[in-house]
Structure 1
Amino acid sequence: MSALSLTFDTQRLAEKYEELSSDRQFKQGKWLIEELNLVPEERVLDVGCGTGLLAEHVADIVGPSGFVVGVDPLPLRIAIANRKAKSNLVFRVGNAYDLTEFGENSFDAVYLNAVFHWLAEKEEPLQHIRRVLKSGGRLGLTTGSKEHPNRLLQIRREILSKEPYNAFPESRSGYPHWVSVAELVWLLDRNGFSISKVEVLENVIHHANADAAIDFSQASSFGNFLGHLPDELRKSAIAEIKQALEALRTSDGIRLEGRRIVAVAVRK
């Protein structure tokens, strides 16, 4: 379905993601959850739950009479998430392309926090989500804006477009699979959702140095940042990316500016 691989993830990357996402994806996700207006006793599905930080937060909101399920295709991240499991919170290895283990009308809300851009084909997941949502159930998602990539992704694209890196198909495919607001609106409407809210928000990330920026990108992409390259080429690509990033560093570190889309929709 895409050049993305689930095999590049490692225990180190999974643990690093748990550490770094607490200050980034988790904070953005809490804002998304506020927009979903979750209440006690609701049943919620977290698609692409990662190491489970946001699902744990949601389980506290819906309370002991509610229920939260987190699914993610990466077993190492589910293993970390399972440390947070409790009576109203469970985690399973699974993905957005196959939600058949859940019956129709199973959930009051479904969300994808910093996940939608990892889905190369987006209509099938939306159809699965619509099926498992109750009538009037809410879908929330945050995703990068196609029209506002940050400088690190631009640097990566520029470097991987050159020889010898461009000999590898994954170099040409690009990542992630972002959408514009217009594309997202079209996708949601086409797949049975009424849009309640769509916003484009500033997304600024500060890194102390180039190593920190690359660490975050490797962890959040589950190794896909440069994982497709042979070891020696990966080392040289990292060196080139570091050099370009360090040119952007000020006394405050490296500031990477982009935009993210936040959307809330209701199943028709």
Structure 2
Amino acid sequence: MARSTFDEAEWYDKNSPTQFKDGLRLIKLADPQKGDKVLDFGCGTGNLTTHFSELVGPEGKVIGVDPDGERLALARKTYSASNLEYVQGSANEVPGGDYDIIFSNHAMHYCPDKNATLKTLASKMKKGGKLVYIICVEDQVKVFADNMPGLFGKKFRDTWAAYYHYTSSEDYKRYTIANNFSIDHSEIIVCRYDYKNVEEMVEFRKTHIRGEYDDSEFNLEAMRRAYGEEPFHHNYDYLLVKATYTG
């Protein structure tokens, strides 16, 4: 059994440009103001959370929540501020309340029950508060998953299926409205993931599904046949939403 030796949290922090770029776009859409109280739901290593702490100023408050303790440890070490707090939690354990903004970038597709998650987030918001999120939609999984049988072992594929919980863009919007949000803006955006080679794709996937994998789980020879030796990319459709909590 060959266990991954790289630091997953550090690798993720430095090698997730797509999420970071999309997150900056989402922050602009959220339009935080001085003094706002913000929740970053699924904050990861905090490289976006810290932007909110700067925008809301010392009179504001930002809480980043994530279930991954290693990523939170890196966040506290690397992206700290006096008005910023990192808390380990999940869709069922959301800290604080009375938020002006709840921000979730590339995170809610990890939550098994989207309706329950949105209900919880709604209970944490001020009336008139803003919810902004980017989330992968169901049909785009096929772009990657259709190639899985020949490229990845069964253990990895089973873990992938258990770890991600995708649904359609219409269901995401329906759940949002059902939990007393009024949708102000929604659009499908194309998120492009660039890889230098197949090894980099494997490393990227390891950071998104935690666990231990035998070398046989990653068929590099088959990947090279599928993608070649040159840099390549995958495109996925994501749903971007801005909504107001109506209470």
TM-score (normalizing by structure 2): 0.89
* Pair 1:141 & 2:121 matched: no
The correspondence of residues 97-136 of structure 1 with structure 2, limited to 5 A, is 97-99=92-94, 101-103=95-97, 106-136=98-128
Opposite residue 78 of structure 1, the aligned amino acid is L
Report if the CA contact (8 A) 1:249-1:255 is conserved: no
Match of 1:39 in 2: 33
Report if the CA contact (8 A) 2:197-2:230 is conserved: no
Report if the CA contact (8 A) 1:45-1:110 is conserved: yes
The offset of 1:150, in angstroms, is 6.0
Which shifted more, 207-216 or 184-193? 184-193
Seen in structure 2, the aligned counterparts of structure 1 residues 160 and 207 have a Cα distance that, compared at 3 Å, is closer
Q: 2:85 aligns with which of 77, 84, 90?
A: 90
The offset of 1:152, in angstroms, is 3.2
Match of 2:23 in 1: 29
Q: In 1, distance between residues paired with 2:35 and 2:5?
A: 36
Q: In 2, distance between residues paired with 1:243 and 1:46?
A: 39
Cα offsets for 1:90-130 (capped at 9, x unmatched)? 1111112122x424xx1100011110110111222211111
Q: 1:51 aligns with which of 17, 36, 45?
A: 45
Match of 1:235 in 2: 215
What are structure 2's unaligned runs of at least 5 residues? none
Q: 2:58 aligns with which of 55, 64, 72?
A: 64
Match of 1:261 in 2: 239
Report if the CA contact (8 A) 1:155-1:244 is conserved: no
| Root-mean-square deviation over aligned CA pairs | 2.6
Cα offsets for 1:185-208 (capped at 9, x unmatched)? 111111221111111111111101
Q: In 1, distance between residues paired with 2:12 and 2:69?
A: 14
The offset of 1:237, in angstroms, is 2.3
3-state secondary structure, aligned to 2:164: coil
Seen in structure 2, the aligned counterparts of structure 1 residues 10 and 134 have a Cα distance that, compared at 3 Å, is farther
Q: Percentage identity across aligned positions?
A: 26
Q: In 1, distance between residues paired with 2:113 and 2:229?
A: 41
3-state secondary structure, aligned to 2:8: helix
The correspondence of residues 130-209 of structure 1 with structure 2, limited to 5 A, is 130-149=122-141, 151-156=143-148, 158-159=149-150, 165=154, 170=158, 173=161, 175-209=163-197
Q: In 2, distance between residues paired with 1:91 and 1:124?
A: 23
- Number of aligned positions between the proteins: 243
What are structure 1's unaligned runs of at least 5 residues? 1-7
